[in-house]
């Protein structure tokens, strides 16, 4: 039969894809895509010019944007309208001792999904890994934020010694110290604490030394907690601690 003009052209797709863009977003101001992003949109998601997706940059909320151009390794987006205003991120910081890199990457992904505001790799006495890969960490945090609907990517701090971090600690920020040697149940300890910004500290596979434990606990901002009767792997402890914190003090108290 006769082919109608435009028959082969797909109708524009409104996709649910979310992309982090590290640039200001404003209506009608075109944004360049990174090469990996254009590959993802074109080759992986099979999107084409005219199709829409969502973008965020941690400052301007979430926007609907249309793909303006898309070629191999390049492309542009056209922001159309803001769909969600930026919200203040008030999740806790997570201090963790880098473990094996696959497990650390898992920890970063899960902590990003569970709303950690900042990720602080800290060196402790029994740390197994002195190598950190900030760009890999960042890539995992971005991917998790894109996937889970967060409006910002958790910031990744440079590696520092735990003792130096504790020495320079902001006085008003409480530290939920996950102590494998035991302590008050986390739920009770969190519910009893006065309102404040928070951080969570999880140790390495080897745990904390006696001297470290004493030093951490001597800090006035320290709130020691137990995560129950089982010894959790570091990344499991991070997930459990963040979930408990979010349930008592954070956004797991509300729906979505």
Region from 9-17, 62-70, 166-174, 229-237 binding ligand SAM, contact rule CB under 6 A: 229-237
Among 70, 114, 151, 178, binds ligand SAM (CB under 6 A): 178
115 sits in the region (left: phi over 0; alpha: psi -120 to 50; else beta) called: left
**Interface with ligand SAM, residue 237, by CB under 6 A:** yes
Tell me how far, at minimum, the Cβ of 170 lies from ligand SAM, in Å. Answer: 21
Q: Which of 49, 50, 149, 206 is close enough to bind ligand SAM by CB under 6 A?
A: 206
Q: What is d(CA 132, CA 99) in angstroms, rounded to the nearest whole number?
A: 9
Nearest to 221, CA basis, from 66, 77, 95: 95
Nearer Cβ to ligand SAM (64/233):
233
CA-to-CA distance for 102 and 38, rounded, in angstroms? 26
Min dist. Cβ of residue 96 to ligand SAM (A): 9
Determine, following the binding rule CB under 6 A, whether residue 233 of this chain makes contact with ligand SAM.
Answer: yes
Q: Which stretch binds ligand SAM (CB under 6 A): 82-90, 108-116, 162-170, 201-209?
A: 201-209
Question: From the CB of 136, what's the least distance to ligand SAM, in Å?
Answer: 21
Q: Which of 234, 239, 242, 249 binds ligand SAM (CB under 6 A)?
A: 234
Residue 52, CA atoms < 13 Å, CB-side half-sphere: 13
Distance CA 29, CA 9 (A): 26
Residue 190 DSSP SS3: helix
Nearest in space to 95 (alpha carbons), one of 246, 252, 234: 234
> Residue 224 and residue 216: Cα distance in Å, rounded?
9
If one asks whether residue 125 binds ligand SAM (CB under 6 A), the answer comes out as no
Task: Please provide the DSSP assignment of 66-124 as one string.
Answer: EEEEEETTEEEEEEEEEEE------PPEEEE---SHHHHHHHHHHHHHTT-SEEEEEE-
* Contact stretch for ligand SAM (CB under 6 A) within 8-16, 108-116, 155-163, 175-183: 175-183
CA distance 12 to 67: 10
- Is 207 an interacting residue with respect to ligand SAM (CB under 6 A)? yes
123 binds ligand SAM (CB under 6 A): no
Residue nearest to ligand SAM (CB): 203
Judged by the rule CB under 6 A, the positions of this chain that interact with ligand SAM are 178-180, 202-203, 205-208, 226-228, 230-234, 237
């Amino acid at each position: 039969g006769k082919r109608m003009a435009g028959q082969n052209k797909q109708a524009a797709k409104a996709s649910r894809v979310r992309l982090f863009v590290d640039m200001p977003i404003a209506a009608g101001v075109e944004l360049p895509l990174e090469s990996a992003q254009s590959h993802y949109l074109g080759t992986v998601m099979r999107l084409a010019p005219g199709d829409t997706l969502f973008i965020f940059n941690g400052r301007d909320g979430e926007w609907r944007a249309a793909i303006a151009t898309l070629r191999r390794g390049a492309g542009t987006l056209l922001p159309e309208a803001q769909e969600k205003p930026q919200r203040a991120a008030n999740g806790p910081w997570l201090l963790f001792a880098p473990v094996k890199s696959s497990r650390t990457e898992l920890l970063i992904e899960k902590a990003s999904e569970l709303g950690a505001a900042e990720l602080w790799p800290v060196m402790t006495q029994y740390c197994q890994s002195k190598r950190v890969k900030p760009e890999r960490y960042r890539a995992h945090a971005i991917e998790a934020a894109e996937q889970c609907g967060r409006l910002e990517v958790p910031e990744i701090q440079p590696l520092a010694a735990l003792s130096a971090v504790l020495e320079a600690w902001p006085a008003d920020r409480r530290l939920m110290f996950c102590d494998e040697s035991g302590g008050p149940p986390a739920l009770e300890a969190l519910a009893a604490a006065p309102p404040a910004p928070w951080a969570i500290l999880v140790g390495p596979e080897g745990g904390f030394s006696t001297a470290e434990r004493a030093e951490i606990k001597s800090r006035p901002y320290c709130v020691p907690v137990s995560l129950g009767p089982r010894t959790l792997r570091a990344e499991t402890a991070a997930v459990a601690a963040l979930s408990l914190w979010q349930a008592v003090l954070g956004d797991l108290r509300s729906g979505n």
